[in-house]
């Protein structure tokens, strides 16, 4: 199987990720930080190793600013539902995943409003101007993807964060599709909250994510419970990471995530980005020779895109194209990609699109095979 569905989750995982998870199960099987025995202490040390690795990777102020979550979706929900209160307003982009749009829509039931700012691909000045126009006196949060999970379009989140600082409005950045692919510096960029998927560009296992708060605090927690600290109090701790981490953590997943971060760090984010972008550009060039293939963006270039490409074949549904490719041994993702806002933006809400995303393990031969297989897929 040629696996090109890495925007959903990367596969395969590096061998060291699998080894780290196996080691955690075999040798570190105790509950981290809940007991004073050596196994519990060793498990807690593994958690701290990952926290430290993540803080270094994203240049967070310290490991205490890093909280583990189930995924990027939970991290986004934590920020949105912690920061916003009845009467508040938020600004999001027109490219957001349902991980942002659904909680935002749910919050309207409690008196929160939001505005979708239009992204202008290739024109960062216009995009920032649209965000500025969307701000209101009651705006209390900006939530923005760094890169569209459907179209690969990059959003100038660093400049939008600067805009937020100008008005005293915090920003939460969804980097599910960019972490491990483009460099991210929390402090230099001025991101207040960074929401991270552990299982995509960081090559960790599914069921892992991160929420990084630059201040090391959140306005409130949306989950309370046992933290292993301050157990005599019925009040949830108000400082991270305990503020956001209740209950037994996913130790094997965290161990795998740490190994994934180390894999990406050693390989180098710029090298991974360059490799994947060359593959996507090769694919774009190959598909662009087909008159019946619809490509929705300009040829992807480093400044304005991440290595994600979506397309359609005239006369065929995206699902039919995906099924035919699967029968040929190629894995892609057709449909709406849990991002109807992004599809509305491109006018593909009804038909969806076929999404292709390589990884650090993909190669030119696989892309060339994909292009040849696509030559066999035409409407009759």
For the stretch 136-147, pLDDT in tens is 999 999 999 999
Instruction: Please compute the mean of the pLDDT values over residues 151-180 and round it to a whole number.
Output: 98
Please give the CATH architecture assigned to the domain spanning 268-374. Alpha-Beta Complex (3.90)
* pLDDT band at 380; cut points 50, 70, 90: low
When comparing pLDDT for 36 and 355, which is higher? 355
H runs (alpha helix) in 72-218: 72-83, 98-107, 124-134, 157-167, 186-189
pLDDT at 198: 98
pLDDT at 36: 84
**Residues contacting residue 56 through CB under 8 Å, at least 6 positions apart:** none
Whether the pLDDT of residue 235 is over 90: the answer is no
3-state secondary structure of 164: helix
Among positive and negative, which fits the CA dihedral 303, 306, 312, 313? positive
Range(s) within the chain of domains with CATH label 3.40.640.10: 15-266
| DSSP state letters, 313-375 | ETTS-HHHHHHHHHHTTEE-EEE-TT-HHHHHHHT-TTT-EEEEB--TT--HHHHHHHHHHHT
Give tens-digit pLDDT for 29-73: 899 977 889 999 999 999 999 999 999 999 999 999 999 999 999
| CA angle, 380 then 313 then 353, to 5° | 140
pLDDT at 126: 98
Cross-strand pairs, 375? none
Whether the pLDDT of residue 22 is over 80: the answer is yes
How big is the chain by its Cα radius of gyration, in Å?
Answer: 21
φ and ψ at residue 139, rounded to 5 degrees: -70, 125
* pLDDT band at 281; cut points 50, 70, 90: very high
What is 15-266's CATH number?
A: 3.40.640.10
Mean of per-residue pLDDT scores for the chain: 96
* pLDDT band at 239; cut points 50, 70, 90: confident
Range(s) within the chain of domains with CATH label 3.90.1150.10: 268-374
Angle of helix 124-134 relative to helix 157-167, nearest 10 degrees, comes to 30
Give tens-digit pLDDT for 286-335: 999 999 999 999 999 999 999 999 999 999 999 999 999 999 999 999 99
Whether the pLDDT of residue 196 is over 70: the answer is yes
308 to 8, 142, 153, 201, 271: CA distances (angstroms): 11, 24, 8, 12, 16
Percent of the chain with pLDDT over 90: 90
pTM equals: 0.96
- In this structure, what token pair is assigned to residue 65? 């600013």
φ and ψ at residue 213, rounded to 5 degrees: -110, 120
CA-nearest of 226, 176, 194 to 67 is: 194
Candidate from 178-182, 209-213, 223-227, 366-370 with smallest mean pLDDT: 223-227
Helices vs. strands in the chain: H and E counts, helices first: 12, 13
Whether the pLDDT of residue 156 is over 70: the answer is yes
How close are the terminal C-alpha atoms of the chain, in Å?
26
């Amino acid at each position: 199987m040629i696996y090109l569905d890495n925007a959903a989750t990367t596969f395969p995982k590096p061998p060291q990720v699998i080894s780290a998870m196996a080691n955690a199960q075999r040798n570190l099987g105790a509950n981290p930080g809940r007991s004073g025995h050596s196994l519990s202490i060793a498990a807690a040390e593994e958690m701290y190793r990952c926290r430290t690795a993540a803080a270094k990777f994203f240049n967070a102020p310290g490991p205490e600013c890093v909280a583990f979550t189930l995924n990027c979706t939970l991290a986004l929900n934590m920020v949105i539902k912690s920061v916003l209160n009845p009467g508040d307003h938020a600004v999001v982009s027109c490219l957001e995943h349902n991980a942002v749009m659904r909680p935002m829509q749910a919050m309207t039931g409690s008196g929160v409003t939001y505005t979708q700012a239009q992204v202008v691909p290739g024109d960062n000045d216009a995009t920032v101007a649209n965000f500025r126009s969307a701000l209101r006196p009651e705006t209390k949060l900006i939530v923005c993807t760094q890169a569209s999970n459907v179209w690969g379009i990059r959003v100038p989140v660093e400049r939008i964060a600067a805009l937020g600082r100008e008005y005293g409005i915090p920003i939460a950045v969804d980097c599910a599709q960019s972490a491990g692919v483009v460099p991210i510096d929390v402090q230099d960029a001025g991101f207040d909250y960074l929401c991270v998927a552990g299982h995509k560009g960081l090559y960790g296992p599914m069921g892992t994510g991160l929420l990084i708060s630059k201040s090391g605090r959140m306005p409130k927690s949306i989950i309370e419970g046992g933290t292993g600290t301050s157990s005599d109090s019925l009040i949830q701790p108000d400082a991270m990471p305990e503020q956001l981490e209740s209950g037994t953590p996913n130790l094997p997943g965290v161990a795998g995530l740490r190994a994934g971060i180390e894999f990406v760090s050693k390989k180098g984010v710029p090298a991974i980005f360059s490799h994947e972008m060359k593959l996507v550009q090769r694919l774009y060039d190959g598909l662009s020779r087909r008159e019946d293939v619809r490509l929705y963006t300009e040829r992807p270039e480093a400044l304005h895109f991440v290595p994600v490409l979506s397309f359609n074949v005239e006369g065929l549904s995206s699902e039919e194209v995906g099924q035919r490719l699967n029968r040929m041994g190629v894995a892609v993702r057709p449909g709406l990609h849990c991002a109807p806002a992004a599809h509305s933006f491109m006018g593909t809400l009804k038909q969806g699109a076929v999404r292709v995303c390589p990884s650090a393990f993909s190669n030119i031969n696989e892309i060339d095979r994909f292009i040849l297989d696509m030559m066999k897929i035409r409407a009759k």
